[in-house]
């Protein structure tokens, strides 16, 4: 993969405003290499326990987890892959659609109750950047990409979901806007601390924040056998 899904989806002027230290994270991972990072999330999950049964269903596919913890160590690994979407609704299993270049991320959280890994894959689709969530990608979000030029988040990459879809029964079901959860992800680089900071919120109209995580980590692209 010579260009990452972010580079294929965002305009040149948006990418030009990106903090130089973030270009490694959002750029292409060369063949034979992998992106690895480690850090600590100050918070993960939601304190609203009535949501945990729903999150437990999503946890089976490594999307989100039913818990609320602080100061959680984590690692992230980004790999260049090709994924195929089709009637099976599973990555790499359908033969009726062209395989697309993607970056698959595994974020392993070292919770007090044990390690859990969140999985997703980012692809550049004709309609824009799409995040396929979970091991099987049954939930996907179309993301708008912006990089603020001024203000406290100048040079950060901000992703906001504009559509959420569920893949089931051999087809894609787009959730109505009124029922669709909203994902906001911000990645910025903190020069003073020399770390990359990340925050994600999942919210819904009338319910507020359903899930979130935020923290900091250090990241580099290294040969896969290192």
CATH fold, domain 5-221, is Lipocalin (2.40.128)
pLDDT tier for residue 90 given thresholds of 50, 70 and 90: very low
Gap between the Cα atoms of 114 and 53, Å rounded: 19
Sign of the torsion formed by the C-alpha atoms of 72, 165, 28 and 60 = positive
pLDDT digits (tens, 9 = 90+) for 30-80: 888 999 999 999 999 999 999 999 999 999 999 999 999 999 999 999 999
Residue 95 confidence (pLDDT): 42
Q: Read off the tokens for 176.
A: 């109505």
- What number is the average pLDDT over the span 104-113? 96
Percentages of the chain per state (helix, strand, coil), in multiples of 5: 10, 50, 35
Q: Which helix (H) or strand (E) holds 115?
A: strand 114-125
- Cβ burial of 59 (10 Å; 0-12, 13-18, 19+) is middle
- The residues with which 161 forms a beta bridge, in sequence order, are 143
The SS3 assignment for 135 reads coil
pLDDT digits (tens, 9 = 90+) for 158-214: 999 999 999 887 788 899 988 899 999 999 999 999 999 999 999 999 899 999 999
Task: With beta carbons less than 8 A apart as the criterion, state whether 207 and 181 touch.
Answer: no
Gap between the Cα atoms of 144 and 80, Å rounded: 21
- Hey, where are the domains in the chain? 5-221
Residues making up the chain, counted from first to last: 226
């Amino acid at each position: 993969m010579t260009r990452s899904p972010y580079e294929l989806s965002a305009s040149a002027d948006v990418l030009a405003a990106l903090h130089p230290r973030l270009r490694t994270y959002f750029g292409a991972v060369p063949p034979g290499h992998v992106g690895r990072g480690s850090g600590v999330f100050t918070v993960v999950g939601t304190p609203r326990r009535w949501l945990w049964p729903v999150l437990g269903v999503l946890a089976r596919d490594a999307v989100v987890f039913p818990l609320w913890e602080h100061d959680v160590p984590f690692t992230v690994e980004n790999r260049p892959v090709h994924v195929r979407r089709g009637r099976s609704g599973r990555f790499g299993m359908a033969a009726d659609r062209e395989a697309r270049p993607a970056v698959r991320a595994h974020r392993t959280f070292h919770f007090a109750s044990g390690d859990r890994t969140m999985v997703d894959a980012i692809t550049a689709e004709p309609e824009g950047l799409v995040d396929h969530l979970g091991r099987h990608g049954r939930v996907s979000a179309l993301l708008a990409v912006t990089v603020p030029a001024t203000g406290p988040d100048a040079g950060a990459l901000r992703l906001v979901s504009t559509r959420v879809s569920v893949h089931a029964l051999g087809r894609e079901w787009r959730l109505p806007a009124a029922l669709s959860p909203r994902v906001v992800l911000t990645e910025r680089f903190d020069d003073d601390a020399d770390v990359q900071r990340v925050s994600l919120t999942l919210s819904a109209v009338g319910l507020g924040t359903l899930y979130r995580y935020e923290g900091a980590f250090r990241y580099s692209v290294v040969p896969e056998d290192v």
